[in-house]
Each structure stands twice: as structure tokens, then as C-alpha cells.
Amino acid sequence: MLARLGLENGKIFYGKGFGATGSCEGEVVFNTAMTGYQEILTDPSYCGQIVTMTYPLIGNYGINPDDFESRRSHVRGFIVKEACESPNNWRATDTLANYLKENNIIGLTGIDTRALTRTIRQSGTLRGVITTEDCSDEELVEKAKQAKPLSGQNLVEKVTTPRSYTIDGKGRRVVVLDLGMKQSIAQNLSKAGCEVVVMPASATADEILVLNPAGVMLTNGPGDPKDAGQPIETARDLIGKLPLFGICLGHQVLALALGAETYKLKFGHRGANHPVKDLETGKVQITSQNHGYAIDEKTLDGMDLAITHRNLNDGTVEGMTHNRHPLFCVQYHPEAFPGPSDSAHIFERFISMMNS
Ligand SMILES: NC(=O)CC[C@H](N)C(=O)O
């Protein structure tokens, strides 16, 4: 079945469809990880985006029941150079194509993903439309131009948990404010013995404080951090009252709550080998990343914050801590272990902050 990707800059890529059929629109982004497509497909932070993988063969270990980061896929579309049709892995229970079909995600294969990635790197993130349907190339490009920009949509409310739930544990109670949580975050806190109370993004500081938690974790999530809404208010009301820890969107929300600004990166950081330097220890960690926005360092001046981590590719802020309040956050994903477990200690740091 023929399928096409049309971009807002007028470029068209012709390939084959796999997974669901029809049309989808979104912000087209690329991820450079060689593996982890199942985690990427089910990471709610990709809500509103069409993801292309730069690694040319995707799907070769299939889909398994253990590696889901959330109950369903939130990507709008998925693009690969070659989709493996016969996966071979002892854990595999499904194929990539079948998973996409069942989750109503349109896949595009057989295009030159190098050319697409280069286009995005040169012009910055672009809106695009994938279609398996009949329409002219001009119409397709017009649809891409009309596609909703990522900014301005409150995507967090689409992916957050509808109601609170608890994962039992014998240790300290941690409230996790779910902005689009990856399961690995709850798993890491559980593994450290915490009782994890996951709350919807609409939860207020008062609703959190009555539970008397030892600390609050703000998770990853989709969209422009400035559109996050209530979680920014909640974070502002909690600062100084409880130990706070933020990952990715949680890190950006904490910065906004403190009065700093965020901005959109040209094409974002998405991959499994981004070098990040811990400025306190001088050690470099190889990290998993997925973000399109970053903290504007200039707006941190005079704010009683210290930058703790920096990206070695482009120098952007990757972590901060507050000089007076128990609060720290990272832009990368310490919960993801794409081979290296360099960042596992970040969770231990949160536990010891709660203990002191
Ligand atoms: N993984 C995340 O939490 C992403 C945060 C935010 N949506 C961004 O793109 O920058």
C-alpha cells in the first residue's frame, strides 16, 4: 500500500504504509536510538508528534508485554526506513506492524529517513501529514501547513491518569504528579521501596499536602511546558514545603514555577546516547533524552538556582538545584536504561533528600 509524508515546507516523501491506514498529522521529530522503539511508541511525551527513527532497521525484536511505558501509544505516526516483518526474540509476542495497526497508528516505511532527518536538522522541527489515502501532493502539503502546532495544545490533560492510584511500598510515601508518566519512573521509586501515590495533573498543592508525602516527583510529559497549566501552579505552591524532584517536563515546570523561561529547541534532543556532564562530580553520563524545549539559562540569573548538569553536545541546561529549598531536577531521563545505567543514582539522590 502506497503512503506519503508531506511536510509544511513543501517536501514529499513517498513510501509504503504499514500499521493503520488513513491520515495523521503532527510535529515530525527524529530519534537516534538504535533500540527502544517500544518504549518510544508508548512514552506519552510523544503525544502530538510523528516520530521517525534514524536507525534503518526497526522492529527486529518485536513487541513484548514487559517494556510498555504506558498503556497505549500516543505518537501520531511512526516512520522507519525498513520495518522488520519477522521479529526474532524470546520475549516477543507481537510484531511492530500489528501493534501499530491495533493502536490505530499509521506507519510509513521505505523512505530515506536520512534525507528526512537532514531536512529537519536544517529547517528545524516541521509539521507533517502521513496519508495512505488519495489526494494530490499539493493538498497534502496544504494539510501539513494547516496542522495544529504543538504549542498551544494542552496535551498533558490528554495523557495524565484520570484518577489517583497507589502502588504499595513499605518506605516513604512519594506523590508522583503524572504529567504523562513513563512507567519506569514509578518502577524506580517502587524499587527504592517507596509507597507511590500517582495523582492526575489537575491535583492542587492542598490535595497533595493532605496526603502528607515525604516528597513530590513531577514527571515527563508532552507538549510545550508553558501549556502545562495547573502543574505550574501546583509546583509553585509546593516549593519550599516538600522535597521536589522533576524529570524532563517536570524539570521545565519547576523552572517556570520559579519564574524562569523555556524556549523551543531547533529540532530537540531525542536518542539514547546524549552526553551530559554532572558539574558537581565532573563525571559524564550517557543519557536517554526526549525533549523539544529547554530552560533559558539567561532567565536563571539571580534566582538562587545552581545549574548541576550540562549537555555536552550543545551546552544546554540538563539539571538544576535550588540553593535554599530541597528541589532538584533533570532534563534527561534517569529512569531509562538503554544499556548504560549511568543515571540510576539520581533516584537515590531523591530518596536521600527525603530522608534528610
Ligand atoms: N519527555 C518530556 O518530558 C518532554 C518535555 C517537553 N514536552 C519537551 O518536549 O521538551
Which mutation among 125, 150, 249, 267 tests ligand 1's pocket best, with the greatest number of atoms within 8 A of CB? 249
Is the confidence at residue 99, as pLDDT, over 70? yes
Q: How many CB atoms lie within 10 A of CB 66?
A: 8
Looking at the DSSP bridge assignments, the partners of residue 189 are: none
Q: Whose CA is nearest to atom 3 of ligand 1?
A: 220
% of the chain beyond a pLDDT of 70: 99
% of the chain beyond a pLDDT of 90: 96
What is the pLDDT, as a whole number, of residue 339?
Answer: 65
Angle, nearest 10°, between helix axes 249-257 and 230-238?
70
What is the pLDDT, as a whole number, of residue 340?
Answer: 67
Give the contacts of 328 (CB within 8 A, at least 6 positions apart). Answer: 244, 245, 246, 308, 319, 320, 321, 322, 349, 350, 353
Please tell me the distance between residue 137's alpha carbon and the centre of ligand 1 in angstroms. Answer: 31
What is the pLDDT, as a whole number, of residue 242?
Answer: 97
SS3 253: helix
State the ipTM, two decimals.
0.98
Please tell me the distance between residue 252's alpha carbon and the centre of ligand 1 in angstroms. Answer: 8
CB burial of 108-125 (b: ≥16 within 10 Å; e: otherwise) equals bbbbebeebbebbeeeeb
What is the pLDDT, as a whole number, of residue 345?
Answer: 87
What is the pLDDT, as a whole number, of residue 171?
Answer: 94
Tens of pLDDT, residue by residue over 6-16, are 999 999 999 99
Average pLDDT over residues 282-295: 96
Which atom of ligand 1 sits closest to the CA of residue 179?
3
Which mutation among 248, 254, 264, 296 tests ligand 1's pocket best, with the greatest number of atoms within 8 A of CB? 248
Active-site residue set: 248, 333, 335
- Give pTM, 2 decimals: 0.96
Give the separation between CA 223 and CA 158, rounded to whole angstroms: 11
Q: Whose CA is nearest to atom 5 of ligand 1?
A: 249
What is the pLDDT, as a whole number, of residue 158?
Answer: 97
Is the confidence at residue 245, as pLDDT, over 90? yes
Domains in the chain (CATH in brackets) are 2-146 (3.50.30.20), 156-355 (3.40.50.880)
Using 50, 70 and 90 to split pLDDT, how confident is the model at 86? Answer: very high
Q: Write down the H helix ranges in 225-281.
A: 230-238, 249-257
Please tell me the distance between residue 89's alpha carbon and the centre of ligand 1 in angstroms. Answer: 31
Please tell me the distance between residue 243's alpha carbon and the centre of ligand 1 in angstroms. Answer: 22
What is the pLDDT, as a whole number, of residue 221?
Answer: 98
Give the separation between CA 27 and CA 32, rounded to whole angstroms: 16
Tens of pLDDT, residue by residue over 290-334, are 999 999 999 999 999 999 999 999 999 999 999 999 999 999 999
Tens of pLDDT, residue by residue over 169-202, are 999 999 999 999 999 999 999 999 999 999 999 9
Which atom of ligand 1 sits closest to the CA of residue 223?
7
* Kind plus residue range of the DSSP H or E element containing 130: strand 126-131
Give the separation between CA 332 and CA 186, rounded to whole angstroms: 16
Give the separation between CA 117 and CA 160, rounded to whole angstroms: 30
Question: Residue type at 284?
Answer: V
Please tell me the distance between residue 188's alpha carbon and the centre of ligand 1 in angstroms. Answer: 19
Is the confidence at residue 337, as pLDDT, over 80? no
Give the separation between CA 176 and CA 215, rounded to whole angstroms: 9
Tens of pLDDT, residue by residue over 125-155, are 999 999 999 999 999 999 999 999 999 999 9
- Listed range (35-39, 60-64, 79-83, 336-340) with the worst mean pLDDT: 336-340
Give the separation between CA 272 and CA 222, rounded to whole angstroms: 18
What is the pLDDT, as a whole number, of residue 332?
Answer: 95
Q: Which residues line ligand 1 (CB under 6 A)?
A: 45, 220-223, 225, 248-249, 290-293
What is the pLDDT, as a whole number, of residue 341?
Answer: 78
Q: Do the beta carbons of residue 271 and residue 289 sit within 8 Å?
A: yes
Q: Whose CA is nearest to atom 4 of ligand 1?
A: 291
Which atom of ligand 1 sits closest to the CA of residue 293?
10
Give the separation between CA 237 and CA 253, rounded to whole angstroms: 12
